[in-house]
Each structure stands twice: as C-alpha cells, then as structure tokens.
Amino acid sequence: MAAYIIIHIEVTDPEQYRAYTNLTPAIVAHYGGRFI
C-alpha cells in the first residue's frame, strides 16, 4: 500500500534541523521508504 506524506514546516533552529535531516534518509530507507 502506498502512502504519501507532504510536510510544510517553518525551521526555527537551522542547526538542529540540519542534524535531523542528516538522519532522516537512513531511517526512511531502513523501513523501505523513499523520497520522491
């Protein structure tokens, strides 16, 4: 079953957000997800 998530955010702490986005691809891939 496909699922699509669209997110709109406002970044208030760029350094913390950068740390989060560095981890996201590995977590998504671990569960079989992918970015389109």
CA 23 → CA 18, 19, 20, distances in Å? 9, 7, 5
Q: pTM value?
A: 0.57
Predicted confidence at residue 21, as pLDDT, reads: 92
Predicted confidence at residue 36, as pLDDT, reads: 83
> Which residues fall within 8 angstroms of residue 35, CB to CB, at 6 or more apart?
25, 28
Predicted confidence at residue 2, as pLDDT, reads: 85
Domain ranges for the chain: 1-36
Which pLDDT tens digit goes with each residue over 1-36?
A: 888 999 999 999 999 999 999 999 999 999 999 888
- What's the alpha-carbon Rg for the chain, to the nearest Å? 12
Predicted confidence at residue 10, as pLDDT, reads: 97
